[in-house]
Structure 1
């Protein structure tokens, strides 16, 4: 393999080279659809540097791939911001942000699966940088939306984190299934994904009425009563 020669970088351009390395690794990963295509030697050749130059920025391939997935998920915050932009209704915003998350995932399937793939010899399901980006992007933004639902009285006062985890789990679950099981009849308009997110949002609100630990008979009675109210409208 021939390494494309690269002009010597000026002093202080280390961050630029780091960005080029991440970009090259991302392109290899996406183009080939497998982490196996990303090797230090292949990335170095694509950037036009020697392998030791890669190790100045990343200790190993796993750390490089961690940086690749973290960089991709930094764009998720922009996606969610655009999805909820101009939506004053927090419930509408929650659904829009959830669907924005799903669209991001299915639009970047290789990167998404890598971000949540378990690592050999690691108890963490993803790299620390990915966790930090998710916490500061998706989780933080969804927390603001859930708090708005609490403030308006749709959600009861209480556990913001728990409600965010429910919404996050629903969006992640649908996205993961759509990526790994594309043959299922998901439709082209994300209507099934929206129904799942609606069920989670409405279910959380309903649980505040019947009680988090209501028995099945109480739940059925509440649903029947609600249906009667709707019929009389």
Structure 2
């Protein structure tokens, strides 16, 4: 057998061995696939550039093993977004619990949101640089970010806003703008982001 064929055989055996998880470890592989897809999405030009074969290669498994956990690419993408949004929501919930006064809670949530985006630029890009882009057209159950947005709406409601949803949308747009512009234009003489967030919150709380 040629050296090339021996190498290919070993690679195939390695993939096969990697794809057979011990009993009860299927969930671990599922998590590894989600992590692999998320890492790829941090650098790829949009979700359309992601392939299941590339995810399998990133995770170090045989391509067919992906289908043991995800029926197609869309299902995998939905799982990625659900995990990342849950991560963001956990950070916002912790901030929400840190203060009793409504205005202070809103400020804490907004600071936590911007902090998450700045500290986790790759994860943030996965959330808002891919999910919901043209062509995605999510179906029911494929909008994992809605509960996270609702948290912001609820906090704004507690502050007595006359139109909580519209106010929350404006706050979200402002925070997203701060995060992305700060990342895309680092040479701009930015004031501290904390100062900008405080200014933004005060402006929206003015009645």
Name the TM tier (shorter chain).
Answer: 0.7 to 0.9
Q: Which has the higher contact order (CA 8 A, sep 6+)?
A: 2
Change (3 A) 1:201 1:190: same
What residue number does 2:44 align with? 34
Change (3 A) 1:105 1:131: farther
Match of 2:145 among 120, 127, 134: 134
Deviation at 1:101, TM superposition (A): 0.8
C-alpha offsets along residues 191-229 of structure 1, whole Å, 9 cap, x if unaligned?
Answer: 223322322222xx2xxxxxxxxxxxxxxxxxxxxxxxx
What residue number does 1:211 align with? none
Match of 2:201 among 197, 202, 205: 197
Q: Which runs of 5+ in 1 are unaligned?
A: 206-233
Instruction: Report if the CA contact (8 A) 2:117-2:124 is conserved.
Output: yes
- Return the index of the structure with the highest Cα Rg: 1
Moved more, 72-81 or 33-42: 33-42
Superposition RMSD in Å? 3.2
Q: Which runs of 5+ in 2 are unaligned?
A: 1-7
Moved more, 2-11 or 44-53: 2-11
Deviation at 1:103, TM superposition (A): 1.2
Change (3 A) 1:123 1:54: closer
Q: Determine the C-alpha separation between the residues in 2 that align with 1:149 and 1:79.
A: 20
Change (3 A) 1:128 1:199: farther
What residue number does 1:213 align with? none
Instruction: Report if the CA contact (8 A) 2:33-2:56 is conserved.
Output: yes
Instruction: Report if the CA contact (8 A) 2:37-2:55 is conserved.
Output: yes
Match of 1:102 among 114, 121, 136: 114
C-alpha offsets along residues 1-44 of structure 1, whole Å, 9 cap, x if unaligned?
Answer: 945431623566543322121012223444xx335885423322
Change (3 A) 1:91 1:192: same
Deviation at 1:169, TM superposition (A): 2.2
C-alpha offsets along residues 146-185 of structure 1, whole Å, 9 cap, x if unaligned?
Answer: 22212xxxx4xx4332222222222222222223323222
User: Match of 1:133, SS?
Assistant: coil
1:175 pairs with 2:184: no
Q: Determine the C-alpha separation between the residues in 1 that align with 2:79 and 2:63.
A: 17
